[in-house]
Structure 1
């Protein structure tokens, strides 16, 4: 794991959480459904300690464990939208978009006049309804830039927390779910109640999932394992990066020379500051989320590691003001960068 990452790992600088909290977050990123006793055994603490820390992370660090459909594995379209809005209307537009089931994360940027929205339409009709119907007819939206996501270099099941290197390779191996033969990735109509329940709570117990689906516990367990093994869904962790001392986030819209596109994307994926990077179609050909401790660190990254990449022709950085929606559900209004897992 460590050899493929940039030599420097992000630093934990938090007044609220310590190294054990970070290790619990990292462990949940590896296996979000691992029991407290399994987590405690791997981390060398009691299950009561893990449960107590988990509850505090939920209350004070915005921690949620949820299932996420992997649109790339499922072959679904994904788009990143930049909506320039009339002043004082961006909040309303962002809140309305957050209620749509096909939006995956939403943030306010550019002094509150821009909404950045990730969307995963499940059908061409859903896509056209949003891009050709509702948004163009919204008078307060004065410009729409649509970037189709083409290839994920980092993000999705690969989470930013791994870059802290808080767990050893042996600990990661001990936490991973038991391997199963991979089936073709797909979510059928009969899977929707199960996936919907896991999108609400990725740690829902088997009895809770049985009640939500009407299927037996053994059937639920088998199907859940199959969905995860196929890559159709993954169990994700949502948290506030500012609780780990990383208070500044920004979207990067990068133009690389076509011949250097793949190489630049791979290099960005190794940078500790990068939480997500994907190739896109649109005005730029790469989009990334960068998370840093301060604006000074953001400048140091833009002028240093990013600026030094051969093949990068243009960079536009758009600092986030507030996250509105993360992963599957709208968030309470608060300052700070979007979740470090705000990606596809």
Structure 2
């Protein structure tokens, strides 16, 4: 399990994934050596990783939530085919092991972008069913982390890292403070590198983009300031009390959707809440300590929300890919350098 410093460090990295060990040490009131030691241990034992992610809305993209079904003997092959794609994230094996759920990112305006993915999948995967849900609005997730992974710092400590009330309360930050960003090939290379390693040193990022370190530093500062890129954390949720995982597909009357989704985004059990297209217009990702806790949440937590007309529960058996790029063997490791 995580100790007090571990939890504080995880929360701090949610706020500023590129904060130096010295900055983090000041906020946590420990030495930089202590921060470094805890960080390395979390990387090795808790699968901690910082990843830089582009904001889809500001970088000309949209997201689809795909539910794909395959025969039992080919479902895992289908899942791994999705994992290998650069435009996918959150690849889950759910239900009885024959359904795969994944998030696909496509260029804005490509209304049938998800269909292109299906044509590119190898025929051997034995695809038997498909449904695609356009992600219209996210209430919890992406920029607003699961509350159980971001509840260790005081308000003062969060301010020291530049955090705001959005970080601790799970509200969706406005994106209208910056118009859509036109990305150059070097920008794409920069974002690809940060998706692999959000704490990569400026010198490493410069080598991958062809820019000078000073140019990389200025461009990264600009992209962060206007919201075109942000940083997220990958970590084993079981260490934070999320041993049992389930996807929840809910149908809510449109008149009550925003009210219900906003309320659910404050629930400790939910790491992701979003409005989607389709017969179930609200999807959530539940993380609970055990099956008994999941039962209590479904019957008492969600059962008390009268505006939820129907709900489907799909247990997550395996998480094959999260938000970052799957590291390749021999890729540079994250040593906590952000200079």
What band does the TM-score fall into relative to the shorter chain? Answer: 0.7 to 0.9
The aligned runs of 1:175-194 (5 Å cut-off) are 175-176=161-162, 183-186=178-181, 187-194=183-190
Give the drift of 1:245: 3.0
1:171 alignment counterpart: 157
Q: 1:149 aligns with which of 135, 144, 152?
A: 135
Q: 1:306 aligns with which of 299, 302, 305?
A: 302
Alpha-carbon contact 1:135-1:141 (below 8 Å) kept: no
Q: Provide the aligned C-alpha RMSD in A.
A: 2.2
Change (3 A) 1:270 1:331: farther
Give the drift of 1:190: 3.1
State the alpha-carbon separation in 1 of the partners of residues 76 and 17 from structure 2: 32
1:215 aligns with 2:200: no
Q: 2:321 aligns with which of 325, 329, 337?
A: 325
1:111 alignment counterpart: 96
Give the drift of 1:226: 1.0
Secondary structure in 2 matching 1:250:
strand
Change (3 A) 1:293 1:58: same
Alpha-carbon contact 1:185-1:230 (below 8 Å) kept: no
2:256 alignment counterpart: 260
Give the drift of 1:231: 1.6
Q: 2:283 aligns with which of 282, 287, 292?
A: 287
Give the drift of 1:122: 2.6
1:239 aligns with 2:235: yes
The aligned runs of 1:1-344 (5 Å cut-off) are 14=1, 17-122=2-107, 124=110, 126-131=113-118, 133-134=119-120, 140-161=126-147, 164-176=150-162, 183-186=178-181, 187-330=183-326
Change (3 A) 1:250 1:211: same
State the alpha-carbon separation in 2 of the partners of residues 127 and 89 from structure 1: 20
Give the drift of 1:267: 0.8
State the alpha-carbon separation in 1 of the partners of residues 270 and 163 from structure 2: 26
Alpha-carbon contact 1:277-1:287 (below 8 Å) kept: yes
Secondary structure in 1 matching 2:57:
helix
State the alpha-carbon separation in 2 of the partners of residues 183 and 147 from structure 1: 27
Change (3 A) 1:33 1:177: farther
Alpha-carbon contact 2:60-2:107 (below 8 Å) kept: no
Unaligned runs of 5+ in 1: 1-13, 333-344
Give the drift of 1:105: 1.6
What do residues 234-260 of structure 1 show as CA deviations (whole Å, max 9, x unaligned)?
A: 111111101223211111100011211
Secondary structure in 1 matching 2:102:
strand
Unaligned runs of 5+ in 2: 165-175, 329-339
Change (3 A) 1:113 1:306: same
Give the drift of 1:307: 1.1
State the alpha-carbon separation in 2 of the partners of residues 276 and 38 from structure 1: 29
Change (3 A) 1:119 1:166: same
Change (3 A) 1:153 1:248: same
**TM-score of the superposed pair, with normalisation by structure 2:** 0.87
Give the drift of 1:139: 6.1
Give the drift of 1:152: 1.1
Secondary structure in 2 matching 1:121:
strand
State the alpha-carbon separation in 2 of the partners of residues 226 and 331 from structure 1: 26
Alpha-carbon contact 1:147-1:283 (below 8 Å) kept: no
State the alpha-carbon separation in 2 of the partners of residues 105 and 164 from structure 1: 20
Alpha-carbon contact 1:185-1:227 (below 8 Å) kept: no
State the alpha-carbon separation in 2 of the partners of residues 234 and 323 from structure 1: 22
